[in-house]
């Protein structure tokens, strides 16, 4: 009888242990899947230049800034490879290590060796004083490449640039301020957004002509700029 009872107890004990191991295995799988999902989201945010999405992931702590992914990638290195300035700044602000190497043996500093703007990228990575024109040029390019259906994303990214000290009245090489660039593309939402910035100069000159005068001329070729003109007037443009 004692042997029978002992046998039953052993069977029960083994069964419970197997159940625990199965539960642990399932939970580990779920956890691993979650982390992998966040890894994918983090790298996707970089490729799509989604600053707010990546910030959320980093703030939640669901993916470590300096973690090496399963395929040997680092967030900072991937951002530098595709020259995403705002993403790079965000990662640096969250403790990204510029000396860490990915599976190919490259650090972020190694990746900029052949960049035309190597000096500025090095200052950015080392968090040294940047030439203000470097970030300003990126903001100008951003507005220049904005389409009607991407204005919301541009507004979000411009806010980031302004927070990093970019002048809202920054100009392109052809001396067009950001406001004039947006207006010339009939980007009404972006035009209004820029007009609402505290230090905006709605009466800035472009080769001795006001932004409003330039928009009136451009309206002859693109009637949609008429709405931009009305917006500018509502904010005091002359």
pLDDT at position 238 is: 95
Q: Minimal CA–CA distance to 107: which of 70, 85, 78, 86?
A: 78
Mean pLDDT by 10 residues, the chain (238 residues): 46 43 35 54 96 95 92 97 97 97 97 96 93 94 98 97 96 97 98 98 96 98 98 98
Q: Do domains 30-125 and 132-234 have the same CATH topology?
A: yes
pLDDT at position 37 is: 57
Q: Which residues of 12-45 are buried (b: 16+ CB within 10 A; e: fewer)?
A: eeeeeeeeeeeeeeeeeeeeeeeeeebbebbbeb
Q: Residue 128, Cβ neighbours under 10 Å: how many?
A: 9
- The domains of the chain are located at 30-125, 132-234
Give the CA distances from residue 168 to residues 140, 194, 209, in Å, rounded to whole numbers and listed in that order: 10, 7, 19
- Terminal Cα-to-Cα distance of the chain (whole angstroms): 104
E strand or H helix at 206 = strand 205-206
User: Given this structure, which CATH class describes domain 30-125?
Assistant: mainly alpha
Q: Are the C-beta atoms of 135 and 85 separated by less than 8 Å? A: yes
Say which CATH superfamily domain 132-234 falls into: Ankyrin repeat-containing domain (1.25.40.20)
pTM of the model: 0.81
- Structural tokens at position 53: 């999405």
């Amino acid at each position: 009888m004692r042997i029978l009872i002992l046998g039953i107890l052993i069977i029960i004990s083994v069964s419970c242990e197997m159940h625990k191991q199965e539960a642990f295995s399932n939970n580990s799988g779920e956890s691993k899947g979650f982390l992998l999902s966040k890894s994918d989201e983090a790298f996707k945010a970089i490729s799509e230049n989604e600053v707010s999405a990546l910030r959320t992931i980093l703030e939640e702590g669901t993916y470590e800034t300096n973690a090496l992914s399963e395929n040997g990638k680092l967030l900072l290195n991937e951002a530098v490879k595709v020259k995403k300035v705002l993403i790079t700044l965000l990662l640096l602000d969250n403790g990204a290590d510029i000396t860490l190497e990915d599976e190919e043996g490259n650090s972020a500093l190694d990746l900029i060796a052949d960049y035309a703007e190597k000096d500025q990228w090095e200052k950015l990575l080392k968090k040294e004083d940047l030439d203000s024109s470097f970030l300003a040029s990126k903001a100008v390019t951003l507005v220049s490449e904005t389409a009607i259906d991407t204005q919301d994303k541009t507004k979000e990214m411009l806010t980031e640039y302004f927070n990093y000290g970019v002048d809202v009245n920054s100009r392109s090489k052809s001396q067009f301020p950001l406001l004039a660039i947006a207006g010339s593309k009939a980007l009404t939402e972006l035009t209004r957004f820029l007009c609402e910035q505290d230090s905006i100069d709605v009466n800035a000159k472009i080769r001795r002509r006001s932004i409003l005068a330039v928009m009136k001329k451009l309206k002859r070729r693109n009637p949609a700029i008429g709405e931009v003109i009305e917006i500018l007037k509502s904010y005091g443009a002359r």
